[in-house]
Structures are given as structure tokens and as C-alpha cells.
Structure 1
Amino acid sequence: MPHRTELYEDAPSACWPIIYSPDYNITFMGLEKLHPFDAGKWGKVINFLKEEKLIADDLIVQAREATDEDLLVVHTRRYLNKLKAGKLAVDRGWAINVGGGFHHCSSDKGGGFCAYADITLSIKFLFERVQGVSKATIIDLDAHQGNGHERDFMDDHRVYIMDVYNRYIYPGDGFAKRAIKRKVELEWGTEDTEYLQKVHTHVEGALNELKPDIIVYNAGTDILDGDPLGGLAISPQGIVKRDEIVFKAARSRRIPILMVTSGGYQKRTAQIIADSILNLHSLGLIDKELASSGAENPKVENMIRDTTKDLTNLSLQ
């Protein structure tokens, strides 16, 4: 019997399926400036989208905090001394949590700035509560291996994991790698052309191998050239194109997709995330009207056919 929770209350239909809370932004008497992570980047993303008139405060889904009972769906009581985005993605066809993506945290252990296993929790809630959701694919394109969700779904054949990461950096979790169905290990300084070709090839391959009921897309921006922790050399335009590739692949197959923003340790990453969301909107891959129409609506299917181009001729500019 599912436990009682406020995380799965229906969001207002007038809202974009973009999830945010001011609480995402962490401050501590200025000490956050000493840390490589931009603790205020999520608020900056929202502000950039407001400036472009895409969203307004009353059109955003406010994130709810998970209770201990909610977190116990994944975490042990010993370990415990945010999260309606998954259902929203299924209901609307897509959702973006401007935060989240804590992919180093597993059910009983945190790591790498990650305190809660939100990816695992999203998927387990969907399996428990949403009829018709029995298979999930995680596409993890953060620069780091997503060892937390990999450990959690090690023996769960309902979850297909694709992970593309710098092979030489944290966490180097050999045990967790056993859970990866499609593993792409990158070299130091990998650039746009090679990276985007690999992302395109393997996203298509993963979704052709198994068509899931939901995609959880971990869209880290720590792949950006100059990131102090990522070690890769992807341009801002490359990040925008990467997100486009993933959303086009999902839309062409009419698979709901939940995007979380994960790592990214430079001040300019907030603008890049906002630019990517604006690009997805300009291409018709995310849309408020689409969101309220449902993924199986004929109008949506026509939109998919109109906006999905031949990715074999993908421009890498």
C-alpha cells in the first residue's frame, strides 16, 4: 500500500512543468563563495528565463520538501540522522527540475556534494504510484560517473542506465559500473565533435535497445570547457546541442522525460542552462501547450514529426 505523501499532488495545469524553489540556493554567511560550486546557479537560471519572458513566478511548479517518510522509500533510517517531478513528466510529457541530479548519493551513502538520492527516489515513486510506468532509462551526461543510482539499481532489470563520463575523475566506482548497460568513458579534454557524435549514437542506441516509460536525464554542465572538476572541453553551444539531441530522441519516441541539472562549477553555467531551455522551447521540444496536451495527443504527435529532424545529418556547430 503506497504511503501518504504530498509530493504527488497534481500541479496546476496553468503552470509550466519547471520545478524550482528558492531554497535550492544555498548561502552561509558568504562562505559559499569559497566553494567551487555556484550555490546560487539555480536561481540565476530562473532569473534568465524570466528576463526572456518564458516564465513568471506564478507559472512555476513550487518544489515540495520530502518528509522522512518519503525519503525512507529509498534511504535507510540510519542514513537519514526534493520531489514530484517524475509524475509531472509523465503527466505533461516533460519536466525540468532546475536543481537535483544528486547522482553520487545511493540509498545508504552520500558523496560528491550529494545528500539525497533524488534520481532513485523519483523512479521508485513512479514504479510505486503511476500506472503504466514499469521501465525507466537513466541518461547520465554529467562529467562524473553516476555511481549512486547505479548502486541502487544494480540488480533491477526495470532500469536501464547509460552513463557518459570522464574516466579519470571522481568517483571511479568500479563496483557501480557493473550496473551500467551502456558505458561511454571519455578522455581528458574531449571536445564537441567527438562528444556530440558519441552522445547521439549512444542515446539512439539505448532507446532503440529498450523503450522505457520514462527517461530521467541528468544534464550536468560540468562538461563545460574550463570546469575545475569535469576535465572535459565542451563549448556552451555543445551543451545546448547535447540537450537538444536527448529531447529530440525522447520526443520522436513519445517518451516522457524528466531533466535535472546536476553538476556545473562555473559562474557561466546558469546562463548556459537557461539558453538550453530557451532553445528547447524555440524548437517546440518543450511547450506549455504541449505540456497540457499529453504525449499521445495527435497534435503533439504532429509536433514531434515537424520538429524531429534527421539526426544523422546533425549539425555540430
Structure 2
Amino acid sequence: MEHGWAINIGGGFHHCCSEEGGGFCAYADITLAIYLVLLNYQNVQRVMIIDLDAHQGNGHERDFIGRRDVYILDVYNKDIYPGDELAKQAISRRVELFSFTEDEEYLHKVNTHVEGALNEFHPQFVVYNAGTDIMIGDSLGLLSISKKGIIERDEIVWSKVRQRGIPIMMVTSGGYQRSTAAVIADSIINLNNKDLISLSGGIVSL
């Protein structure tokens, strides 16, 4: 919070809720982070989750059903796991994609709905779940977003959040190809080059 941003390249276990694990996710780090922020920072009363992993973030959604202080924007492939109807009750803004959605449509929807969500809710802290399983060729995400598209997606989110002066924590979540790590690194470097972060003045952790 003190730096205004943080990146955890080992986090984003969004299928795990406070009661059980699921989908390669062993503990509910997103839920835990939000509870810790709400507990320790009295000036934070509204938190937004921007979940752009290819899969529905049903873990944190189950944890925040009925909560008015947590707003969830979830953009995901509707054709794949988990298809959790109960968890969908917690989604404030739901954007369902078809398999093999490509850059132009995807980035338009991300731009439109991130802007709309921020204007609607005015969060005081944002958790950004930046899954790279949206990348073309990912056999679990089944979307067709290019490496360039992923970098642009992250820039869209960070630009809109940072220009409003809202603290943001990014976790990198799913991504199941050998090239995933390089794309994440290139995206972080791009954020630094665009002055959206400073690699000498924030927190990047494993």
C-alpha cells in the first residue's frame, strides 16, 4: 500500500475459496490479501477484483457472495472449467467469452468493462488477476490472445487504475505454456517503460 503497487508472480489461486481448494489452487491468496487489507487499512472500504484469467474465478467469488464492499469483474471463457453457477452470484460485472476469442474483440471488452467497473464502484484497492492462459495455444484456456495482446491488456488495466491513484496488486495466476514466463516478464518491463511502475520503487515477489 505504501508504494501504491505490488506484483506477485507466484500468486493468483482463484479457484480456491476459504473452505476448499480446486483447479491447481491450494490456498485462497486473493481472499486472504483482501481481508488483510480491509483489516489493516481503515481507509480502504471498497475493494475490486479484476479477474482476467481465462477461467472463472470461482474461489474468491464464493468467498465474497453477498459482500457489497468487494466488486468483482470477471472476464472468462464460458466454455471451460469451472462453470460454477453459485459463484457467479458474486460477480458484479460478468463478461463471458467464446473459445478462441482473438485480440481485437478481447481488448475492446477489457477496455470497456474495466473502465465501466472503475467508474461504477470507485474502489480504494484493486487486486488484478492477470492470467496468461488466455494466450493462443494454451490448451486449458482455449482463447487466442497474442503475446502482444496480453502486454496491451495489462497496460490497459494498470493505466486505468494508476491514473485514478488507486493502489493495485497484480498476481499472475494461470498460464500453461513454456513461453508464459517470458510474456509475464515482457509485460512487467513494458509497465516499467510506460512509467506505470518503477522496478526500483515497488514490490515484485515470487
TM-score, scaled to structure 1? 0.63
Q: Find the aligned partners of 1:152 and 1:205 in 2 and give their Cα distance.
A: 23
Partner residue, 1:127: 38
**CA spacing shift, 1:230–1:92, aligned 2, 3 Å:** same
Equivalent residues in 2 for 1:84-103, closer than 5 Å:
90-103=1-14
Q: Does 1:136 align with 2:47?
A: yes
Equivalent residues in 2 for 1:64-79, closer than 5 Å:
none
Partner residue, 1:287: 198
Q: Provide the aligned C-alpha RMSD in A.
A: 1.1
Matched residues, number: 203
User: Alpha-carbon deviation of 1:131?
Assistant: 2.5
2:75 to 164, 171, 191: 164
User: Alpha-carbon deviation of 1:155?
Assistant: 1.2
Q: Does 1:263 align with 2:174?
A: yes
Q: Find the aligned partners of 2:189 and 2:14 in 1 and give their Cα distance.
A: 25
- Residue type matched to 1:121 in 2? L
2:60 to 149, 157, 161: 149
**CA spacing shift, 1:199–1:146, aligned 2, 3 Å:** same
TM-score, scaled to structure 2? 0.96
Equivalent residues in 2 for 1:37-116, closer than 5 Å:
90-116=1-27
1:174 to 85, 91, 97: 85
User: Alpha-carbon deviation of 1:288?
Assistant: 4.4
- Residue type matched to 1:233 in 2? S
What is the SS of the residue equivalent to 1:92?
Answer: coil
Judging by fraction of residues, say which structure has more strand.
2
Identity of aligned residues (%): 63
Q: Deviations over 1:23-73 (max 9, x none)?
A: xxxxxxxxxxxxxxxxxxxxxxxxxxxxxxxxxxxxxxxxxxxxxxxxxxx
Q: Find the aligned partners of 1:289 and 1:141 in 2 and give their Cα distance.
A: 26
Larger RCO: Structure 1 or Structure 2 (Cα < 8 Å, ≥ 6 residues apart)?
A: 2
Q: Find the aligned partners of 1:97 and 1:226 in 2 and give their Cα distance.
A: 24
Q: Deviations over 1:156-205 (max 9, x none)?
A: 11000000000010000011001100000000100000000000000000
Q: Deviations over 1:262-294 (max 9, x none)?
A: 0000000000000000000000000146649xx
- Residue type matched to 2:182 in 1? Q
Partner residue, 1:241: 152
2:52–2:74 contact (8 Å) kept in structure 1: yes
Answer with 1 or 2: which has the greater Rg.
1
- Residue type matched to 2:106 in 1? Y
Gap runs ≥5 in structure 2: none
Gap runs ≥5 in structure 1: 1-89, 293-317
User: Alpha-carbon deviation of 1:147?
Assistant: 0.2
User: Alpha-carbon deviation of 1:109?
Assistant: 1.2
Partner residue, 2:110: 199
The runs of at least 4 aligned residues of structure 1 exceeding 6 Å deviation read none
